[in-house]
Structure 1
Amino acid sequence: MSATTLTSVPTGTWNVDPSHSSVEFQVKHMAIATVKGQFNEFQGSLTIADDGTATASGAVEVASVDTRESQRDEHLKSPDFFDAANHPQITFVSTEITPVDEDSFKVTGDITIHGVTKSITLAASVEGADEDPWGNQRVALSVTGQINRGDFGMTFNQALGSGNMLVADKVKIAIDVSAVKA
């Protein structure tokens, strides 16, 4: 369930360092403004086997959603959107990682949001690798993608007099990872 990986990521298991990483999203509000948010609690790992195959997985805690507006955050946690009480995590497990070139690749996998699992393909790039001042090997990755929230049963919306919808269906995903070799 995986493909040959990039030569720029050394073999081993790499665990996401949440204090140096971010899981963010963007969605249009009223078709004119972009609302940005993030999840403050998450975990993940990337494993590069000796034979060059790779797997990736991760989970975010839905209750940690943060859009810098508490009323909106509470609405996002409600059954209208994530339904955090019944679906406390968003999870991802890779099914295939395909190199595009030395430093970029496509990551296909199963993402589960709001209790619904769908396949998604994300674009990823290796931003660099180095040893930190404490002797830990680190690798940095940037991952982007897009989902339609309606595909995951999150269909709450409101029509505006202009014909626009209050919340767009398209949600952009941006993940920046600093991972430490286990």
Structure 2
Amino acid sequence: MNWNIDPAHSTASFTVRHLAISNVRGNFSGVEGTIVTDDAGKPVSVSARIPVDTVNTGQPDRDGHLKSPDFFHAEQHTHITFEGSSVKDLGGNEYDISGTLTMHGESRPVTLRTEVTGPAKDPMSGAQKIGAEATVQLNRKDYGLTWNVALEAGGVLVSENVKVHLEIQAAQA
């Protein structure tokens, strides 16, 4: 079965350590793409695109900096993409979906720990829908996101490690 990711009901969020003492959270909206499942509802493949210029941390100055060449360089690298084609069934509704994440012009293999739920009929649209929640931890330097500032007391302003959390809703195509 084919499912279209619903941009209005899907987000990609991130958490990163800031000043070595607290976390900054942000998200991207407008996630789009497709999920293919077999007849039993197991994911077979995933293709997703995230528009970089939708980044939102709740601080316009920081969002502007994240879109700049110091970080995502949104004018040149307009989307983050994931192409997942290898799925390991972990039992229940849990899967490891492995594929290629491309961000800032760099492509790397990643595995998303994913829970798939549904299907359920949406009473508003009448469409059959599934949900997916996925997590992964990335090193931003692997994707060329290297900007940083050293702190007087040691450490750096922005951690290299970024926790990513995806919440997806998709409608049957």
TM range (shorter): over 0.9
Contact 2:70 2:147 survives alignment (8 Å)? yes
Q: How does 1:140-151 map to 2 (within 5 A)?
A: 140-151=131-142
> Which position in structure 2 is the counterpart of 1:152?
143
> What is the aligned-residue identity percentage?
37
Alpha-carbon RMSD: 1.5
| Equivalent-residue separation in structure 2 for 1:137 and 1:50 (angstroms) | 14
2:167 is matched with which residue? 176
Kindly indicate whether residue 93 of structure 2 is the aligned counterpart of residue 100 of structure 1: no
Counterpart residue number, 1:161? 152
* Pair 1:13-2:2 in alignment: yes
TM-aligned CA deviation for residue 102 of structure 1: 2.3
Q: Which deviates further from its counterpart, 32-41 or 111-120?
A: 32-41
CA contact (8 A) 2:2 2:172 kept: yes
Q: Which moved more, 1:48-57 or 1:159-168?
A: 48-57
Q: Pick one of 7, 19, 22 that aligns with 1:33.
A: 22
Q: Structure 1 unaligned runs (5+)?
A: 1-11
**Structure 1: distance between partners of 2:63 and 2:131:** 29
Residue pair 2:6, 2:31 contacting (<8 A) in 1 also? no
Aligned length: 171
What does residue 59 of structure 1 align with? 49
Q: Is the 8 A contact 2:112 2:136 kept in 1?
A: yes
Partners of 1:151 and 1:160 in 2: CA distance: 22
1:44 equivalent in alignment to 2:42: no
Please tell me whether the aligned partners of residues 116 and 133 of structure 2 are also in contact (alpha carbons under 8 angstroms). Answer: yes
| 1:72 alignment partner, SS class | helix
Q: Could you list the per-position Cα deviations for residues 114-139 of structure 1 after superposition, in whole angstroms to 9, with x for gaps in the alignment? A: 00000001100023321111321111
Letter in 2 for 1:28: R
Gaps of 5+ in 2: none
Contact 2:35 2:43 in 1 (8 A): no
**Structure 1 partner of 2:99:** 109
2:25 is matched by which residue type in structure 1?
K
2:26–2:57 CA contact under 8 A, matched in 1 = yes
- State TM-score, norm by structure 1: 0.89
Task: Give the stretch that moved more between structures: 16-25 or 143-152.
Answer: 16-25
| Letter of the structure 1 residue corresponding to residue 20 of structure 2 | A
Alignment deviations for residues 90-148 of structure 1 (CA, whole Å, 9 cap, x no partner): 01001311110021000101000100000001100023321111321111111011110
The answer to whether the Cα contact below 8 Å between 2:35 and 2:45 also exists between their aligned partners in 1 is: yes
CA distance in 2, matches of 1:26, 1:32: 13
